[in-house]
Every structure is written in C-alpha cells, then in structure tokens.
Amino acid sequence: MLRRWSGRKVGAGVYVALVLIFLFAPLVVVVLISFNATSNMNLQVSGFSFRWYRQIAGDPLVVAAFGRTALAAVATALVSGVLGLTGALGAVRLTPRWRTAVFTIPLVPLAFPALLFAVGLATFYHAIGIGFSIWATIAGHVILALPFVFLVLGAALERFRFSLLDAARDLGAGSFTIFRTITLPLLRPAILGAMLLSMAISVDEFVIAFFTAGSQQTLPLVLYGRINLGVNPGLNAIGSVLLVLTMALAFMAARVSVLEVP
C-alpha cells in the first residue's frame, strides 16, 4: 500500500522502540552492573572493573557449576541431535499426514508447563530409584530441546531435494553411502543449527534442573541459590555469563542454519 502516513510512522516507531527497550533493559542493566567497581546495585557507576568476574572465576562452586552447565549443554545437543535426526529421517518416508503428526507431537513439551514436567520427572526418578544428578537433568533437557530440533530439521527437510537421492541411487550408491555422502552433508547446517539451539536451551534452563539436578547444580541453580542471600554484582557477573552464553549460542545457531546448501 502506498501511503505516506509519517505521523503514524513516528508513533509506530516510538511504540516499537519502547517495547524493545523494555525487552532489553533488564539485560543491559545486569551486564552494566556486573562491571561496577563497587558493590552498588544501581547504575551509579563508580568505575569499570572486572573484579566480580574475577571473583566468580575463583569461586570453586561457580566454576564447577559452569562445567556442569557446559556438560549438560553438549550432552543435550548430542542426544537431541541424534534423536531428532533419526526421527526426521524416518518421518520423510511417511505419508504427509503421518509426517505432520510425527513433527507436531514432539512440540507438545513446548507448551507444556515446565513445573509439571519437572515434578513428573522427579517422581519418575524416585519411582525407579535413580538419584538426582546432572544426568537426570540432561535427560529432561533433551525432551525440551527435541521440539526445536524437529522444527529446524522439519523445515530443512521441507526444502530438501529428494530427487538428488534418486540420482545417487541411479548412479549406483547404496543406502548408507547415500546417507553419508548426500543426505548428511546437505543437512549439516540444519543439524548444527538445531544442536546449537539445544545448547542454548539447556544452558538457560532452570525449572527442570531445579527439580532433578540434586546437589550437582548448574549455573542457573547457583544463581538462584545466591539470590535468596541477597543481590550483589557478583551475581550479575554470573547472570551476564549465562546471558552472553545463551545469546551467543542462539546467534550461532541462526547463522549456521541460514548458510544452507542451495
């Protein structure tokens, strides 16, 4: 539509700006205060300093939690990646009707309240006698990550040129060779993107970890535990680390999956 409603555009711009400021302000504040030289929790920045980062880097509990968070992220990515890939590959041979079912059912955990799933996991582990641990958490994270893996792979498979597989078969390639030399390389950006996304989800995840990690706390759990002792910029440092990590992973996921092989 060809209109020049400039007044309208200005108003719209203001609205959008306000919303975006609202969305980003808390994150910006966290990061800013984490660099505060003093232990002020407000924006009266009295100097720039890394001291809080040094502090948490020297804190064994934090470091251990960071390690566990990283472990969980990688494990989640690998497991959900493999599961998602096998599922997607199996699903392509189905009728469209079944295919949509396969791709929508894993999405259920998306809308599902985390609390319910978390306590469900807790009771489940209790029932089968498995203690709480980081692995218990990882198992739960995979369920959360699966929807996203399926979404990304589903989209990639939608664009996938299956005629290429026919061409390979025509040239004599067996199923495994086709998979190894054609399917996998062409799907690699999507798979990588999905895995990075899973990592981002796992790093940030709190509720499931809360109920299933037991004493093997992840970084968000450490943050949570210390909030109740009072806020201080050291916590902001932890928060910033989490923030940057999640965003970086998500950003990489986006970049990787966009670099599609045409």
Partner 1 sequence: MNDSPVPVVQMDRLTKYFGSVTAVGNVCLEIREGEFFSLLGPSGCGKSTTLRMVAGFEEPDRGSIFIQGADVTGILANKRNANMVFQNYELFPHMTVFENVSYGLKIKRVPKGEARRRTQAMLETVGVGGLENRKASQLSGGQRQRVALARALVNEPAVLLLDEPLSALDAKLRKRMQLELKAIQSSLGTAFIYVTHDQEEALLMSDRIGIMNRGELLQVGTPREIYESPGNPFVADFVGSLNEFPMRVDEVAGLRAIARPGDGQRVTVGVATPPPADSVLQVAIRPERVQLTRGTAAGDAGTADPDASECRVFGVVAEVMYLGPLTHYLVDTPALGRIVSQQVSERREASFSTGEQVVLSWDPEATFVLSGPAGVDGEAL
Partner 2 sequence: MTQQAQPVAGEAATPEGGRPGRQGSEARPPRRRTSNARRRRVGTTLLLATPAAYFVILFVVPLAVLVVYSFFTYQNFNFIPKFTWANYVQALTDPALRVFYFRTLRIALGVSVAVVVVSYFFSHILMYVLPGAKRILFFLVLVSLFGGYLVRIYAWRTILGRDGALNDLLIHTHVVSHPASFLLNSNFAIAVAMLNYLIPLGVLPIFSAMQNISPHLLEAAEDLGASRLRTVRTIVLPLTTRGLRAAFAFCFIATMAEWVTPQLLGGPLDQFVGNQVLYEFGETLNWPLGAAIALTLIASVVALLGILFGLLRLVTR
Name the one range near partner 2 by CB under 8 A: 47-55, 67-75, 104-112, 182-190: 104-112
91 binds partner 2 (CB under 8 A): yes
Q: CA geometry: angle at 140 spanning 139 and 144, to 5°? A: 120
- Please pick, from the candidates 64, 70, 71, 102, the single residue that binds partner 2 as defined by CB under 8 A: 102
Q: How far is the CB of 58 from partner 2 (least distance, A)?
A: 21
**Is 1 near partner 2 (CB under 8 A)?**
yes
- How many Å apart are CA 88 and CA 85, to the nearest integer? 5
| Listed ranges 48-56, 58-66, 84-92, 184-192: which one lies at the site for partner 2 (CB under 8 A) | 84-92
- CB-based contacts of 168: which residues, under 8 Å, 6+ apart? 177, 178, 181, 182
Phi, psi of 213 (to 5 degrees): -85, -20
Which residues in the 10-69 window bind partner 2 by CB under 8 A?
12-13, 15-16, 19-20, 22-27, 29-30, 33, 40-44
Torsion angle in degrees (nearest 10) through CA of 50, 51, 57, 59: -160
Q: Residue 251: name its binding partner from partner 2, partner 1, none (Cβ under 5 to 8 Å by kind).
A: partner 2
- 87 binds partner 2, rule: CB under 8 A: yes
Nearer to partner 1, 3 or 97 (CB): 3
C-beta closer to partner 1: residue 2 or 127:
2
Cα–Cα distances in angstroms (integers) from residue 60 to residues 54, 179, 215, 222, 225, in the given order = 12, 45, 14, 11, 15
CB 28 to partner 2: min, Å: 9
Contacted entry of partner 2, partner 1, none for residue 2, CB cut-off 5 to 8 Å set by kind: partner 1
Element (H, E) at 211: helix 207-212
Query: Cβ of 123: how many Cβ atoms within 10 Å?
Result: 11
